[in-house]
Chains A and B, each alone.
Chain A
Amino acid sequence: KQEVTQIPAALSVPEGENLVLNCSFTDSAIYNLQWFRQDPGKGLTSLLLIQSSQREQTSGRLNASLDKSSGRSTLYIAASQPGDSATYLCAVRTAYNTDKLIFGTGTRLQVFP
């Protein structure tokens, strides 16, 4: 059974720092991995989608990498801003059931001025 873990559970940093959020999964047979952002009491906003054949994806200040063999993905946030404060979730879609996403519990990020 695929399990997804995110470390750290919470992170508080000053504005301007570069950050790395970690996501690990137990079964390397994934179809793709998706990073989301969730603001308090809100839905999820898709940030980046990495296919299993890809090593990384970039969007603005965000860069996500994928190492399938080691069961890990990282989300790199450059020059963090207070507006980046949110919970970041990673989710994997397994190769044998591409219709379902399996979510981690998220990393709650606070960026203070």
Chain B
Amino acid sequence: EADIYQTPRYLVIGTGKKITLECSQTMGHDKMYWYQQDPGMELHLIHYSYGVNSTEKGDLSSESTVSRIRTEHFPLTLESARPSHTSQYLCASSRGNEQFFGPGTRLTVL
């Protein structure tokens, strides 16, 4: 079973702040993903990575950016948070064709 960690679990910040959501996995998975999920809605892929130095945009346009400097680490950054960024952000990694998810970060931008 994969171990995927996300911090913080909850974040409330003001408009205009720069934030970084952390995601780490300890299983050595090459592929990692970020999803955005609004309450009661489906998950939308916003970023993914095939491995170190590889990042791709997902299906849903997002103002966030990601980096993949180390295999185990896939942080997501918002340079200037806005209320429209309020959502739950879920990180995942995959072994073969099965994805495993972290607990999520619930972000509220005031």
Q: Please report A residues at the B interface, Cβ cutoff 8 Å.
A: 4, 31-32, 34, 36, 41-46, 49, 51, 89, 91, 93, 98-101, 103-106
Contact = CB atoms under 8 A, between A and B. Distances in A.
B99 A42 contact: no
B102 A46 contact: no
A43 B103 contact: yes
8 contacts: A42-B104, A43-B4, A43-B6, A44-B92, A44-B101, A89-B42, A100-B45, A103-B43
A41 B90 CA distance: 11
B104 A45 contact: no
B104 A46 contact: no
Given A99-B48, A100-B48, A41 B42 contact: no
A43 B48 contact: no
Contact of A41 (B6, B50, B98, B106): B106
B90 A43 contact: yes
In the A-B complex, the 9 residue pairs with the smallest Cβ-Cβ separation, listed nearest first, are A44-B101, A43-B101, A43-B103, A103-B43, A103-B42, A105-B42, A43-B104, A49-B98, A43-B102
B31 interface: yes
Contacts of B92: 44
Q: Which of A36, A44, A103, A104 has the most CB of B within 10 A?
A: A44
A102 to B, nearest CB: 8
Interface in B59-92: 59, 88, 90, 92
Contacts of A36: 101
Interface in B1-49: 4, 6, 31, 40-45, 48
B62 to A, nearest CB: 15
Contact of B99 (A46, A51, A104): A46
Given A41-B106, A43-B104, A101 B99 contact: yes
Nearest to B102: A43
A106 B37 CA distance: 12
Contact of A100 (B59, B101, B106): B59
Given A32-B97, A41-B106, 6 more contacts: A43-B6, A46-B98, A99-B48, A101-B99, A104-B42, A105-B41
